[in-house]
Structure 1
Amino acid sequence: MAETAASSTPTSQGIERDARAMYAEGHHDVRPGEIAIGVIIGRTSEFFDFFVYAIASVLVFPQIVFPFVDRVTGTLLSFALFPLAFLARPLGTQIFMAIDRRHGRGTKLTIALFLLGTSTVSLAFLPGYEQVGIASAILLGLFRVGQGLALGGAWDGLASLLALNAPEDKRGWYAMVPQLGAPLGLIVASGLFAFFSGFLSPADFLAWGWRYPFFVAFALNVVALFARLRIVVTPEYTELFHTRELTASPVGATIRAQWRNIVIGAFAPLASFALFHMVTVFPLSWVMLFTDQSITRFLLIEMIGAVFGVGAIVVSGLLADRIGRRSLLGYTAVAIAIFSGVAPRLLNGGDAGELAFMIGGFILLGLSFGQSSGAVTNNFPKRARYTGAALTSDLAWLFGAGFAPLAALVLAQNFGLIAAGGYLFSGAIGTLAALYLNKELGKRMG
């Protein structure tokens, strides 16, 4: 039904036809492994878009958009625009769920990914303050909102479908698959920025070098669009989405019926989502602003940490199937709380300390973040799972990650690194409280 409606829509008819033809050349069996490939490609492209903006918000925007203030204030202003995408995401979910119900999942996904790619590649053409004045910051904010709206619509249900279609004793293993996109996207984004910042002069990097990763983002989105469409528009998968009741329900009705699950689901992965930016964006800003170390070198350290993150995500799948997803989230939240006390000393501890901070942080992030999508998926009845999981993911990112770089930098600047660790500690407490208060959630996740 969704596929038929989508096929009659001119905006995506040709793309969906091509995607369906690509699928027809292969097999017609629904297999978790095939869903997993589509999920990894899609998530990697989304996180790559996310990280190229995040890295530029530290290395570039303070200097070209806010050159009229000092570097610390410029970075704070840049971080103040950072949450706009997270604030716009729930609105994007509401808009694109309506498109999904009227025109189908394929049309929704096509429009959302083209909006995401266009918003991201537009940043490559962003004029600086010297060219257009304060309009540079306004444009930056608008493009960031465009990214957020698009990410709200990029929810394709494949992660939920993967978890539901996985073998009973492998639910934790398949729940970690979508999360691999985060460290993979970071590795590619950090590698590109490390290359351009390392081989170009500072003047050339700020003039044009930083723009190239944003062009790459658009190309990756096109590849991801076909990889996902070849799954979601085929009759076999369309039928499976319907039989699993993974169809868009009205956002308002879902919130009214499932608000408790949405709130608890948003806070259950709070520790991992808070840690997410504490080992990616914030340490980069700290090194840039308060040390004389090479940014290129630190980007390479982030890539090393991300490799450990990939391994930890894989391990999280094995552990979740052995001890239960709820237990794993609880144990890692306690470990993150402990890490929040040690992390400031490590980050301020020179080369060895920074390396230990990044590797230790990414291992904890991988173990906890690896099962956060499972927490979101399993917290809803079938009829509300597709829309409810999207809304819960939006709110989890907003509460846990959206304001993390800004809050951590403000706290660290005024009260020292130990205060930034306190922000991370509060995320761990939020996760433990959510797991404790919702016993029903614990039963479903365990």
Structure 2
Amino acid sequence: MSTSPISAAQPDASGQNSSARIIFASFIGTAIEFYDFYVYATAAALVIGPVFFPHSSATAQALSAFVTFGIAFVARPIGSFLFGHFGDRIGRKSTLVASLLVMGLSTTLIGFVPGYDAIGSLAPILLCVLRFGQGIGLGGEWGGAALLATENAPAGKRGWFGMFPQLGPSIGFLASNGLFFALAMSLSDEQFRSWGWRVPFLVSSVLVALGLYVRLKIAETPAFQAAIERKERVKVPIATLLSQHWLPTVLGALAMVVCYTLFYNATTFSLSYGVSALHIPRQTFLGLLCIAVVFMALATPLSARASDRFGRKPVLITGIIAAILSGFTTAPLLGSGEPLLVLLFLVIQLFLMGVTFAPMGALLPELFPTNVRYTGAGVAYNLGGILGASVAPYIAQLLAAHGGLPWVGAYVSVAAAVSLIGVLCMRETRDTHLM
């Protein structure tokens, strides 16, 4: 039994399942959660090292900051196991509300943690605990948001509906980076390092309240309601996933690697390298990133439309091949230190991130049946994060220090090739019915 495209597109009796409400709820949640996540990524590149890790070497500070950055990516699969279990057992809506609360609380509290100078080694310990909490919350967010969109999508428009959670990262990043940019322009370096960097973390509490209001207004998805009526829920979704659906989980994770590597190479690593090694002013580089991420946002709907028309695999293969080639632009463009060439590098990387990321909102849910779809999509998405993002800034920092930017570019190309293998090995999912 498949979900009716007519019932999916139209509101229920209470009006809670209207397309506009579903689109906004799936978008706003990921925008807020990725805002929270990117606030930390930007802070890790700019200030976390000197505030929480008082090493004498700037490189050692950056590496320590990027270790804490990676902790959340280790936590994210745990979050996808935890929230996926309840999302497949009790429903998408309540689980999405819980994940937003965990993420928002962790982010807000980071803004209150004193630095190393105030409480010593307790400071980095608290930071790591809260960073782990961020990962847990985000691990449960994306899969539910993608299911909220795709399980309500009309026939032939699943890629388009699945695109709206994928827009969340662009908007979340723009809001995060824009706020840091405004602070960098209005505060002195001493003010920014003393208290200014905490402001974006505290703003999260207001955004989370907005997200909760929207999420509490939505209804359960038709596909999950049908699964309840057919008594198809399983007791332990993760056990069913690993025993019966391990291959699409692995392939989905491999497909995600290119997205993460492109993004965090272009943002977290490049920001750190541009400010510390190329001596580009912090506010200038943040401004360049704000411009470049607009191209990521523009690529997202274009790629989503193309995936509905031509299929998920052709769009992804095209984008991934371009990403492999983009690795060769790292040294000549980023390494030039010229703002316009650096901007071109950032635009290329983030545009391709949008191209490869957009189809994932539909593809990953399409790989799994309803009774393990929340768990499966979330686990694949977040395992890809461990492979492609958790260590990406750290590895890029090491490669830049020991081999130079050509090695960083080679790393991007190899990561994209890993995703190409995963996509080539998976089936086309465009015409899959979400039962």
What is the TM-score of this pair, normalised by structure 2? 0.90
| Counterpart in the other structure of 2:226 | 243
Tell me the CA shift for residue 199 of structure 1: 1.0
Tell me the CA shift for residue 442 of structure 1: 8.6
- Pick from 50, 66, 72 the counterpart of residue 37 of structure 2: 50
- Pick from 78, 90, 99 the counterpart of residue 77 of structure 2: 90
Tell me the CA shift for residue 240 of structure 1: 4.7
Tell me the CA shift for residue 48 of structure 1: 0.1
Tell me the CA shift for residue 34 of structure 1: 2.3
| Counterpart in the other structure of 1:40 | 27
Tell me the CA shift for residue 239 of structure 1: 5.2
| Counterpart in the other structure of 1:9 | none
1:120 partner letter: T
Q: Secondary structure at the match of 1:265?
A: helix
| Counterpart in the other structure of 2:367 | 379
* Preserved contact between residue 269 and residue 329 of structure 1 (Cα < 8 Å): no
* Preserved contact between residue 84 and residue 374 of structure 2 (Cα < 8 Å): no
| Counterpart in the other structure of 2:201 | 214
CA offsets 1:183-225 (integer angstroms, 9 cap, x no match): 1011110111111111111111111111110011121112112
CA distance in structure 1 between the aligned counterparts of 2:102 and 2:119, rounded to whole angstroms: 24
Tell me the CA shift for residue 244 of structure 1: 5.7
Tell me the CA shift for residue 393 of structure 1: 1.3
**Are 2:124 and 1:141 equivalent residues in the alignment?**
no
Moved more, 281-290 or 432-441: 432-441
| Counterpart in the other structure of 1:437 | 425
Matches within 5 A, 1:108-257: 108-155=95-142, 157-231=144-218, 234=219, 237=220, 240-243=223-226, 250-257=237-244
1:407 partner letter: I
Distance 1:298 1:247, change over 3 A: farther
Q: Secondary structure at the match of 1:169?
A: coil
**Are 2:358 and 1:370 equivalent residues in the alignment?**
yes
CA distance in structure 1 between the aligned counterparts of 2:86 and 2:360, rounded to whole angstroms: 27
Instruction: Please list every run of 5 or more consecutive structure 1 residues that lacks an aligned counterpart in the other structure.
Output: 1-22
| Counterpart in the other structure of 2:384 | 396
Structural RMSD (CA): 2.4
Tell me the CA shift for residue 388 of structure 1: 1.0
* Preserved contact between residue 30 and residue 145 of structure 2 (Cα < 8 Å): no
Q: Secondary structure at the match of 1:167?
A: coil
CA distance in structure 2 between the aligned counterparts of 1:410 and 1:38, rounded to whole angstroms: 40
* Preserved contact between residue 435 and residue 441 of structure 1 (Cα < 8 Å): no
Tell me the CA shift for residue 378 of structure 1: 1.2
CA distance in structure 2 between the aligned counterparts of 1:442 and 1:403, rounded to whole angstroms: 32
1:319 partner letter: A
CA offsets 1:167-193 (integer angstroms, 9 cap, x no match): 333232222221101110111101111
Q: Secondary structure at the match of 1:36?
A: helix
* Preserved contact between residue 268 and residue 375 of structure 1 (Cα < 8 Å): no
* Preserved contact between residue 89 and residue 233 of structure 2 (Cα < 8 Å): no
CA distance in structure 1 between the aligned counterparts of 2:410 and 2:58, rounded to whole angstroms: 24
Q: Secondary structure at the match of 1:279?
A: helix
| Counterpart in the other structure of 1:59 | 46
CA distance in structure 2 between the aligned counterparts of 1:133 and 1:29, rounded to whole angstroms: 50
Matches within 5 A, 1:244-393: 250-349=237-336, 350-393=338-381
* Preserved contact between residue 159 and residue 361 of structure 2 (Cα < 8 Å): no
Identity %: 33
CA distance in structure 1 between the aligned counterparts of 2:406 and 2:40, rounded to whole angstroms: 27
CA offsets 1:303-338 (integer angstroms, 9 cap, x no match): 101111111111112221232211000011000000
* Preserved contact between residue 269 and residue 375 of structure 1 (Cα < 8 Å): no
Tell me the CA shift for residue 86 of structure 1: 1.1
CA distance in structure 2 between the aligned counterparts of 1:90 and 1:437, rounded to whole angstroms: 23
Paired residue total: 418
* Preserved contact between residue 115 and residue 146 of structure 1 (Cα < 8 Å): yes
Distance 1:266 1:108, change over 3 A: same
* Preserved contact between residue 266 and residue 349 of structure 2 (Cα < 8 Å): yes
CA distance in structure 2 between the aligned counterparts of 1:107 and 1:312, rounded to whole angstroms: 31
Q: Secondary structure at the match of 2:216?
A: helix
Distance 1:95 1:380, change over 3 A: closer
What is the TM-score of this pair, normalised by structure 1? 0.88
1:399 partner letter: L
Instruction: Please list every run of 5 or more consecutive structure 2 residues that lacks an aligned counterpart in the other structure.
Output: 1-10
* Preserved contact between residue 271 and residue 428 of structure 1 (Cα < 8 Å): yes
Distance 1:443 1:338, change over 3 A: farther
CA distance in structure 2 between the aligned counterparts of 1:91 and 1:197, rounded to whole angstroms: 35
* Preserved contact between residue 277 and residue 404 of structure 1 (Cα < 8 Å): yes
Moved more, 108-117 or 343-352: 108-117
CA distance in structure 2 between the aligned counterparts of 1:417 and 1:122, rounded to whole angstroms: 36
